[in-house]
Amino acid sequence: MALKPPIAPSGEPRRAASGVPEEPLGPISSPRRIAWVRRRRALGRFWSEYRHNKMGIAGIGILLFFVGMALFATFVANPQSVDPSYVSGPVRHAPTLRFPLGTDNFGISVLSLIVAGSKISLLVGLTASVITMLIGAVVGIVAGYRGGAVDTLLMRITDFGLVLPWLALAIVLASIMGPSLTTIILVIGLTSWPGTARLVRAQVLSIRERPYIERSRALGAGDGHMIIHHVLPNAMPVILANAVLVVAIAILSETSLSFLGLGDPLTVSWGSIIENAFAGGATTLGAWWWIVAPGVCIVLVVMSFTFIGFALDEIINPRLRER
């Protein structure tokens, strides 16, 4: 089989977004290498588009800041700085030079709390969204690829999941499983997959009709090969763009659940800081620093993921770009 470099409809060699013509693939050693080179180039094209997306870059910038904060919290920060038995700051004190974000009712620096909380908030957001993506992608791919009765059954379950009021369900699940970090992660994962499943299914339905699927089937490909080599790679952009938006929702959900006291009482997360502030009377005592800072962090991180998600969406669906 003769392999030619990819040709754009006009007959010209396809150009990278930067305008530089792409090099031909060179001496062909193996199909795997070709796939690899193509993927790397696709990634390069993707990045050169992403780079020009202001929202996307802003999102990545904010996110990197908080990832740095979480890494700092994990490897550098002294865990005693948020332990009530080791701190000796003034209680519920407004911001000073020594405590730039003030202190809580144990005299713990709110800044230290926020740094410590960044780890848990990001961790919960990311793991919960991985669970969501796994369930959503598997259900969506199986339903879309199989069709027929399997599709009907899976979509009935998905629609059922969509109408369940998530927080009420989360509260019920958490009270049966008991409050812990695992509970929060599982609860978010189990309640937010239906939206993803619908999206992935819609994408798989359109992939299924493409000529290369038919060609591959004619060449004798089995379902497993088809899903792993053709359906999954093509559905991946949609799955990833959605995953980023799911992280945003997962972080917000973590905050609500921690605020209701469903998290591990011994770990600090942004939600639990707000919970403690509320329980400690920060609103009525006017201790604004204790409330404002963790909330601002939540808003920033959620917005950064939303921005990245919007940017990815725009690149994947060029039709959206007019907006």
Partner 1 sequence: MGTRTYVLKKAVQALLTLFAVVVFNFFLFRVLPSDPIDLLTRGAGLRLSPADKAELRHEYGLDKPVFPGQFVSYVEDTARLDLGTSIILDQGRKVRSLFAEYAIPTLILVGSSTVFSLILGVLMGIYGGWRRGRKFDMFSMGFSLVLYSMPEFWLGMLLILLFSTTLGWFPSSGRATLGVDYTGFHHFTDIINHLFLPALTLTLAYLGEYYLIMRSSLLDVLGEDYITTARAKGVREKWVLRRHAVRNALLPTITLIALSFGFVLGGAITVEFVFGYKGLGGLTYEALRSQDLPVLQGIFFIASAAVIFANLVSDLIYGHFDPRVRNA
| Angle value at C-alpha 251, between 246 and 252, nearest 5 degrees | 100
Beta carbon nearer to partner 1, 235 or 301: 301
Amino acid sitting at position 77: A
Q: Is 323 in the site for partner 1 (CB under 8 A)?
A: yes
Member of 260, 264, 267, 316 binding partner 1 (CB under 8 A): 260
Size of the site for partner 1 (CB under 8 A): 45
Site string for partner 1, 175-194 (x = CB under 8 A): xx------------------
Member of 69, 271, 293, 308 binding partner 1 (CB under 8 A): 271
- Mapped onto helix, strand or coil, the DSSP state of residue 62 is helix
Contact 116, 268 (CB under 8 A): yes
| Distance between CA atoms of residues 177 and 146, nearest Å | 34
Task: Determine whether 76 is exposed, middle or buried from the number of CB atoms within 10 Å of its CB (0-12, 13-18, 19+).
Answer: exposed
For 296, the token pair is 């601002």
For 117, the token pair is 């909380």
Member of 76, 148, 284, 318 binding partner 1 (CB under 8 A): 284
Q: Least Å distance between CB 101 and partner 1?
A: 15
222: left (phi over 0), alpha (psi -120 to 50) or beta: beta
The contacts of residue 313 (CB under 8 Å, 6+ apart) are 241, 320
Member of 58, 171, 226, 316 binding partner 1 (CB under 8 A): 171
Member of 165, 220, 224, 318 binding partner 1 (CB under 8 A): 165
Q: Least Å distance between CB 200 and partner 1?
A: 17
Q: Is 292 in the site for partner 1 (CB under 8 A)?
A: yes
Q: Would you give the end-to-end CA distance of the chain in angstroms?
A: 43
CB 2: neighbour CB atoms within 10 A?
3
Beta carbon nearer to partner 1, 5 or 261: 261
Member of 15, 299, 317, 321 binding partner 1 (CB under 8 A): 299
| Distance between CA atoms of residues 56 and 218, nearest Å | 41
| Distance between CA atoms of residues 99 and 30, nearest Å | 60
Site string for partner 1, 116-155 (x = CB under 8 A): ----------------------------------------
Q: Is 261 in the site for partner 1 (CB under 8 A)?
A: yes
Q: Is 160 in the site for partner 1 (CB under 8 A)?
A: yes
Site string for partner 1, 200-239 (x = CB under 8 A): ----------------------------------------
Contact segment (CB under 8 A) with partner 1 among 17-25, 44-52, 162-170, 222-230 equals: 162-170
Which helix H or strand E contains 288, and what residues bound it?
helix 288-316
Q: In 100-228, where do the E strands start and end?
A: none
Q: Least Å distance between CB 157 and partner 1?
A: 9
Distance from the Cα of residue 42 to its chain's centroid? 22
Member of 43, 153, 168, 279 binding partner 1 (CB under 8 A): 168
- The closest of 259, 247, 267 to 295, measured between CA atoms, is 259
Binding stretches for partner 1 (CB under 8 A): 159-160, 162-169, 171-173, 175-176, 248, 252, 255-256, 259-262, 271, 274, 277-278, 282-286, 288, 291-292, 295, 298-300, 302-303, 306, 319, 322-323
